[in-house]
Structure 1
Amino acid sequence: MASHLRVVGDEDDGRSPDLRLIADAFDPSRLIQARHLSGLTKRAVASSLRVSPAAVGQWETGATSPRPNHLEALAALLDVPVTYLAAGRPYARLEPTSAHFRSLRSTSARERSRAIAFTEQVWELTYALEKRVQLPPVELPGFSAGEVMHENFPSDPREAARAIRRQWGLGLGPIPRVVRTLENHGIITTLAPFAGGANPTVDAFSTSQLPRPVIVLTPDRANDVYRHRFTAAHELGHLLLHAEVVPGDLAQEREADIFAAEFLTPKESILPELPSRMDLRALGALGSAWGVSVESLLYRCREVGSVSEATYRRAFVRLNSLRKLDLFSPEPVQGYPGEVPLLLRRAFDVACDNGLTMRELSNELHMRPRRIRLLLGATEKPPVLKPLDTAETWK
C-alpha cells in the first residue's frame, strides 16, 4: 500500500481565524498541553511574550484569557495553529500519576509532562482515525473504557504471563512479533521522540487510563531489538497487573520484569534449553532463537539455579568485555518490521484510501501535518510491511 505521508506539505490552509473568537473560546488545558510539548516553563513563555509569569499562570488556571495579540504570539512560540488553543474538540486529560514510567527516578517532571502531553495527542489522533477505520478490539483482560477491573485474572506476574499467552493463543514457544501482537489485540503502541526531539531519560511508559491502553516506546532506548521487545512486554505487564499506578514503585517494576521474562521465555519451555554450564555462545544462539537478550537468559539461569551467583557475575563481566570489542552487539529495531509500530499508520493509509486527506485531518485536530506525521511514527523510508500472520520465527 502506498504511503500518503510524504506527499502532503506543512503549509496552513490559508484561513485567517478571528482572534477575538479564539480568545472567547480559549481553553487553558490546550495551552498547558502545548507548553508541555514544547518543554518550556511558564517563566520562559512569559519572557518571550514580555508578560509576567503570573499572567501565564492565570491563563493556565483559566482566571483570565490571553488577548488576541498574545494568542498569536503564543501559537507562534509553541508551534501550533492558533486554533489549537481553543476549546470545542475531544480532549482526554491524562494525569502524570496515571502512567507507569520505567525510569521515573531519572526522568524530570518536565520530561514526564512532555511525554504525557504526547500521549494525549496520540489518543486524539487515534480517536479521529477510529471514527473512520475499525481498529482491532481491545483484548486486555478486565479493561473497559479506561479502567482495569480484574476479577478472575491472576495477580502473580508469572501466572499472569501464562494466562495472557493462553488467552491470546501464543502457545509456549517464541513470540514472533511482540509489538505487532500488542497492536493486533487493540493496544496502541508508538515509537516516536516526543515533540520532535529526543528525551534521553524517558525509557518507556504505559497507561490504561485512556479509552484505549497505550504503550509508548522511545527510539532513543530502542537501539537494541531484544531490549525493545522486553520493554514492550514489561509495559504489557503493567497494564495487566497494575491498574493502580504507584509512581516509582520498585515492587511494581520488579513484577513487570518478572512478567516480561515469563511472557517472552516461559519457564516450562526455556528451562530444558538452558545450557548446563555457563556458555555465552550457547546463550547467544538461544537468545537469537527466542528474541531475547543474553542478559535476560543469564537472569533466567540464576533464577532457576542452574548457575551460582559468582558464575553469574563473572559471565556479566565477560559479556561486557566482549561488547567493548563489538561482539554480541545490539541490533537496531528498524531491522525488524514486526517490532516497529504500524497500526496507526496503517489506519491512516486506509482512511486516506477512503477519502481522508492530511489537510482534513490537520484541520480536524488543529495540528500541523508534520506533527501528525510524528504521532504516526512516519519515517523517511518506512519499513517494508509483511503479512502479520505468516512469520514462523520471532524475527
Structure 2
Amino acid sequence: MSRASTRGAAPALAVAAFQPNALTLARRWRRMSKKQLAVHTGVTAAAVSQYELAQARPSAGVLGRLALALALPVEFFAAGFPTPATPGHAHFRSLRVTTQAERDQALAFGEIAWRVIDVLQQYLHLPELRLPQLDIPEPATAADVEGAAIESRTAFGLGDEPVPHVTRLLESHGIIVLTLPDASDRVDAFSHWYGQRPFIFASPGKNDKARSRMDAAHELGHILLHHDAEPGSQILERQATTFASQFLAPTSRLRDELPGRLDFDRLHELKRRWGMSLKALIYRGHTMGVYRDHTYRRGMTLLADGGYPEPGDLGPREAPSIVGQAVRLLASDGMQLGALATRSAMPIELLEAVVAAGTDPAEFNAPPESTNPSRWHS
C-alpha cells in the first residue's frame, strides 16, 4: 500500500499496512519498555516483541490501544516511512552520564524529525549536501586532524577569518541541525546520519554561544572524519575537539593573536572575535606552545574559580533555522501545520516540537529567507 493511500486510513486498513519499525520508534520516543507498553495495552511483553519483529500483526483493537498508549495516531504506524538508512553510528558524548533509554529517545526524535524532513523535501528544495571528502591516515595524528580542519575551512570558503555563524554554515551545506527537546536535556550534543543527510543535535541545556559553536564544529568533525568508527572512544572525541578548535580558529592566525601572558582583556577580545570560550583559547595556547604548563594551569584554575558561565558572555547559543524557514515558506503558499502534520502522520504537538527544534526564536516572526530553502518542486 502506498504512503498516500494509508494516510487517514481507518484502523483496519492501518493494520494491513502496519510497520513494525514504527512501533519500535514510537515506544523509544515515549521512553517506554515493552513491558510497560504491554501493561497499558492489555497484551503481553512477548506480543509487543512479536509486533516489533514482524512475527505477528496487531489486531485493529490492539493497534488502537497501542496508538492511545503512545499518544500517536494509528496512521503513524502505517504511514509508509521506512527505517532510514543510517551509515555509521551516532556519536554520543558522556555515555556514562546518560541511560540507554535516554539515548534511544534522542535517536527516536531524530528519526521523527527525518520523517518531517522527508515530507518537506516533497515540496521544497532544501540545501544540497555539499561536504568535503577527507582522506586522513589511520591512526591519525593531531597534525593530520588539524590538516583536515584546514582543508574543510578551504572547502567551505572560509579563508583564515572567523566563522560568522557555524550553524548557518552547516545548514547551508545540507546538514540538518536541530535542538533536542527539553525531554532530552541530559543528552549532550551528538550527530547521526538519517537517510542521505547527516543531522546534528544540540543540547537544550547549553544556552551559550561559544559552547554551541564548539559543539557544532565538534560534531562536524565526527561527520567528516569518523564515518564508520565505533563511537564512545576518547581518541575519537579528542580528534573531534582538535578538529573543532582548528576549524574555528586556524593556528596560522591565532598563534600571532594570542597574548604571550594571561592578559584577560586581550583574551576577551579574542573571545568576541573568534566566538570561542576563554577556556578554549587558553587550551589552544597551551597546545600551540604559547603558554607553558604552569601558565595553562593557572588560567584554568582562575576560570574554574569564577564558575560557569565564564565572564564575557557572547549571548544565546547559535540556533538552527532551516526547518522553521521551510515551514514558514510552505505556510506562505497555503500549507499550514495541520496539513503538514497529516502528511507526516503525527499529532500536531509532535510536529510543532520538531519545527521548534529547527527554528531560531529570534527569527520566528521574520519573513522566510529567499535563499533558504527554495520554492516548490516543479
| TM-score of Structure 1 vs Structure 2, range by shorter chain | 0.7 to 0.9
Unaligned runs of 5+ in 1: 1-14, 143-149, 390-395
d(CA) in 1 for partners of 2:281, 2:66: 51
d(CA) in 1 for partners of 2:262, 2:348: 52
Q: How does 1:277-296 map to 2 (within 5 A)?
A: 277-296=261-280
Please, which of 165, 168, 184 is the counterpart of residue 156 of structure 2?
A: 168
d(CA) in 1 for partners of 2:212, 2:127: 23
CA contact (8 A) 2:92 2:232 kept: yes
d(CA) in 2 for partners of 1:230, 1:388: 26
Cα distance, 1:43 vs. partner? 1.1
d(CA) in 2 for partners of 1:327, 1:192: 24
The question of 1:78 aligning with 2:70 is answered yes
d(CA) in 2 for partners of 1:387, 1:169: 25
Please, which of 98, 101, 108 is the counterpart of residue 107 of structure 1?
A: 98
Alpha-carbon deviations, 1:9-57, whole Å to 9, x = none? xxxxxx9843222222221100000000001111111122232211211
Which position in structure 2 is the counterpart of 1:125? 116
Cα distance, 1:217 vs. partner? 0.9
Which position in structure 1 is the counterpart of 2:373? none
The question of 1:181 aligning with 2:164 is answered no
Unaligned runs of 5+ in 2: 1-6, 371-378
Alpha-carbon deviations, 1:65-97, whole Å to 9, x = none? 2222221121111111111112534541548x6
The question of 1:372 aligning with 2:351 is answered yes
Closer/same/farther in 2, CA of residues 90 and 128 from structure 1, 3 Å limit = farther
Q: TM-score, normalised by structure 2?
A: 0.87
Amino acid at match of 1:370: E
d(CA) in 1 for partners of 2:282, 2:218: 17
Amino acid at match of 2:33: T
Cα distance, 1:116 vs. partner? 1.3
CA contact (8 A) 1:84 1:367 kept: yes
* Aligned Cα root-mean-square deviation (Å): 2.6
Which position in structure 2 is the counterpart of 1:52? 44
SS in 1 for 2:190: strand
Q: How does 1:349-368 map to 2 (within 5 A)?
A: 349-368=328-347
Please, which of 242, 245, 248 is the counterpart of residue 264 of structure 1?
A: 248
Q: TM-score, normalised by structure 1?
A: 0.84
Q: How does 1:1-395 map to 2 (within 5 A)?
A: 17-94=9-86, 98-142=89-133, 150=134, 156-193=144-181, 197-208=182-193, 210-220=195-205, 222-323=206-307, 328=311, 330=313, 332-333=315-316, 339-377=318-356, 382-384=361-363
Identity rate, percent = 35
CA contact (8 A) 2:136 2:145 kept: no
Which position in structure 2 is the counterpart of 1:392? none
